[in-house]
A and B are shown apart, each in its own frame.
Chain A
Amino acid sequence: MRILVISPFPTDRAALAALLVADGHQVTTANDHADGLARAVGDAPQVILVDVRIPEADGLAFARAVAARDVHARVIGMSARAHRGPSADIVWLTKPIDLAQLERALPADPRAA
């Protein structure tokens, strides 16, 4: 699966990328939302794993910006603040990320993402 990891934390970014690569995924990374959006358009990922500070504000805004650029990826938001309300645009994971939960959040069939 092609996965784009966006996080301002270098250790998180590196560890997530290494763990996902070890699971057989192709991973690219970005360190902020602007760079992430550019990569999303360029790399056509099937999944975007994005670190957001405030789930309701910048998480949803990012997911909608992705959709507006015609990128059809499942957006998974990671945040230190829990947001669990239902949302069609984004799947939420609360930090610290539970890897089993992350695995379940990945689409079974990436073409359907």
Chain B
Amino acid sequence: MTTPPLFTLDVLDDLDLCVSGIDAGGAIRAFNRACTALTGIEREAAFGSSWIERFAGDGRRAEVLAHWERLGQDGATGSFEALGPAGQSLRWQFSRAHERAGVIVVWAVAIDLTHERAGSARARELDRVAAMGNLISGLTHELRNPLNGALLQLALAERSLARAELDERTRTAQAAIEHASEEVRRIAVLIDDFLVFVRPQPVYLGRTDARTLVEHALERAEPRARNAGVDLALAPGPTLEVALDATRVESAIYHLIANAIDAAVNAATPIVHVRVLARDNACVFEIEDPGPGLPAGAPIFDPFYTTKQGGTGLGLSIVQRVAAEHGGKVSYSHHEATVFALALPIVGAS
């Protein structure tokens, strides 16, 4: 008398898990719908074929056979990972079949690890990018030390010459020092921009006179304007107290002024006009240059977009970021002149 089967194999089709049954000769004797869905192999094609050839490959035959050998001793199970026919990462769990399963001696259940593996690959990639970011940010910070030394020495040379009797030679030296200082300052600005970009800093709001802040930005931009032969003009006006992050906003205004200077170089009247106004409960900084303006529809606020040779394309995107951090906005218009307007809400304005 033969032992009645524990269940018919049809019941395996109710499972969401891929279950395959293997006979003593290593041939597939059960292959449910979930296996077809996972591997793309039809049940009819799977039946009778060698499990090892389909899912492990001949090269790993001994490894799989060793797993199967160990099954059943003290309820041992085995697990085996391999790429599936559709390129998935599959983990096969082997267990000894009950004798009532008939010809089937080993069950092999597949778990699809593809997403998990891809997730950890992404996590590893993110870790790598973060580590690289830390390295670059550390290195970039360190660059400020030699730049500091260079600028201090240049300032010293500049002051010493300013006190000397000026002849043609000392004037040439003075101009050279001024140009060198300006170039070094450009590197410092690039470093600041880069660091703001890779490592956004928290915003510190403090009550500040907007006009004084613009004066400081103009003071910083003055050597650049002088080297370029461009005049800077601040329109007269009253003081205007606003809650803002002075360092950030000053840097944004400096960027707008520096861009305006670059744009004004070839103009007939190379003057950059700067205005500080209160308009619609906002403090508005307007920077106007007589340049030709920017190409219509150009993504001027996108990072890395630039129309300047040697530009990084970070300046305007940083200005836009500063505006957004303060709940304000930056706009561009070009009619007879080019005007960038940075508008920041006056907090507590009535």
State the A residues within 8 Å of B (CB).
9, 11-12, 15-16, 18-19, 22, 78, 80-82, 84-86, 94-101
Q: How many A-B Cβ pairs are below 8 Å?
A: 63
State the B residues within 8 Å of A (CB).
141-145, 147-153, 155-156, 159, 184-185, 188, 195, 201-202, 204, 206, 216, 219-220, 245, 247
Q: A19's contact among B156, B201, B202, B219, by CB below 8 Å, is which?
A: B156
Nearest chain A CB to B252 CB, angstrom units: 15
Q: B149's contact among A15, A100, A101, by CB below 8 Å, is which?
A: A15
**With a CB–CB cut-off of 8 A, which chain B residues contact A81?**
141
Q: A100's contact among B141, B201, B219, by CB below 8 Å, is which?
A: B219
Asked whether A96 and B148 contact (CB < 8 A) given A15-B156, A18-B156, the answer is: yes
28 sampled A-B residue pairs with Cβ under 8 A: A11-B149, A11-B152, A11-B153, A12-B149, A15-B152, A15-B155, A15-B156, A18-B156, A19-B156, A22-B159, A80-B144, A80-B148, A82-B247, A84-B204, A86-B204, A86-B206, A95-B144, A95-B145, A95-B147, A96-B144, A96-B150, A96-B185, A96-B188, A97-B148, A97-B151, A98-B220, A100-B216, A101-B216
CA distance A99 to B222 in the complex (A): 14
Are the C-beta atoms of B204 and A85 separated by less than 8 Å?
A: yes
By CB atoms of chain A within 10 A, which of B144, B216, B245 has the most?
B144
Nearest chain A CB to B271 CB, angstrom units: 23
**With a CB–CB cut-off of 8 A, which chain A residues contact B149?**
9, 11-12, 15
